[in-house]
Homo-oligomer: A and B are copies of this chain.
Amino acid sequence: MTAIDLPHPAPPGDASRSANPSRILTLVHHHGKLSRAQLTRLTGLNRSTVSVLVGQLAAAGLVYEAAASGESQVGRPSPDVHANPAVAALAVNTEIDAVTIGLVGLGGQVLKKIRYATERIPTASEAVNIAAAVIAGMRSELEARYKIVGLGVAVPGLVTTVDGMVRLAPHLGWEDEPLARMFTQATGYPATVANDASLAAEAEMVFGAATGLRNLIYLNGGASGIGGGIITEGRLLTGVSGYAGEFGHTFVAANGRRCHCGALGCLETEVSQAPLLEMAGLDGGEPGELAGALRTAPGMEAMAEVRRQLGHLGTALRNIVNIFNPEAIVLNGFLAALLAAAPGELQDNLRAESMRGPGAEVRLSPAVLGSDLMMVGAAELAFSGLLADPLGHAEGN
């Protein structure tokens, strides 16, 4: 026989590269600011090591130091290390009725956000052109005042993140679009593409409702269906090709309604926004209003529909809890409204239906990042290269 098959052809030469600058910058980015003393404790590194690393990051322009904030105590005060928001990422969110372009600084602050509404569902090229035009308009300012590390794109569909291909985005009608390449060519910035719900999950973990948690599920309910993101051990679960997290097609009902995906009884055919809006007497409108409108809607019909949908949602959540044993499930969009419309009901259902161990521990909470969510998530995608290797990256460009 020939020699043993080599499962991995050959990993890139340098495997054990120093991860500590990355850890420092990531901590500062996620917390906004952090004193050197806090960094020392959080990383477990030596004070002097932290000193050196912060110095390097400051020299690279990624962080700056400022006097300690109010909070005074015995001992020499420790200056705060701030993420430098002039190091920024462009973020693009593509939806069925709009393309939103944003600028997000290191530290997670949304510096600019421009929503460009479209009259009809944009094609991939149209979305790219809109974003490129908006970015071109900002260009002189971007070049003068910011250091742009890249561009992150959120797409509601199946995305192969490594090569930036949108395999299928059913609600946009896109199929096999090389979106990352298109964005890179149109804007000149290195672009990365990922599923919108995955990015939202990361954003909520880093800056939102699940700050500090390492095992969570994010579920979003939008006009076009239900998507999800999975975070385990603090990392986004992508699956082999980056398609993981399609919770909208979990089986929850045996009534024979066929989903656009081809299967029967999918969560997103049973639990959807349209009937809720109708019951509540709204059309479109603000996402925040829905919960209140449902609670005060006249007659029993609205509540019955809420209950029906909560039942199916509960089934999906039961599966999730039994399979993932997460710390929290974060709900957004109309799913958050469902949660708010009947407080406690979902949590009670879940306790009753899921297995004792995991069911008792999970926390249900609404998303908190609101309209900045996708900007922060997409920017995080663009930041990821910088965060993984801050110094190499900083010199490289």
Q: B-contacting residues of A (Cβ < 8 Å)?
A: 1-8, 10-16, 18-20, 23, 31, 34-35, 38, 41-45, 71, 158, 167-168, 211-212, 214-215, 228, 230, 232-233, 235, 237-247, 249-255, 261-264, 315-316, 318-319, 322-327, 352-358, 361
Contact = CB atoms under 8 A, between A and B. Distances in A.
Contact of A325 (B20, B44, B71, B241): B241
B41 A15 contact: no
Task: Pick from A1, A233, A254, A322 the residue with the most CB of B within 10 Å.
Answer: A322
B44 A31 contact: no
Given A4-B38, A158-B355, A361 B18 contact: no
A241 B361 contact: yes
Contact of A44 (B15, B233, B358): B15
Given A34-B4, A44-B10, A251-B251, A240 B326 contact: yes
Contacts of A18: 16
A227 to B, nearest CB: 11
Given A230-B323, A262-B353, 14 more contacts: A2-B71, A4-B34, A5-B212, A6-B42, A10-B42, A11-B42, A16-B16, A232-B232, A232-B237, A244-B324, A244-B325, A244-B358, A250-B322, A250-B323
B3 A43 contact: no
Nearest to A358: B243
Contacts of A244: 323-325, 358
Contacts of A214: 240
A14 B230 CA distance: 28
A330 to B, nearest CB: 15
Complex A-B, nearest 4 residue pairs according to Cβ-Cβ distance, in ascending order: A13-B44, A239-B325, A254-B254, A7-B212
A244 B231 CA distance: 13
Nearest to A3: B71
A52 to B, nearest CB: 14
Contacts of A232: 232, 237, 239
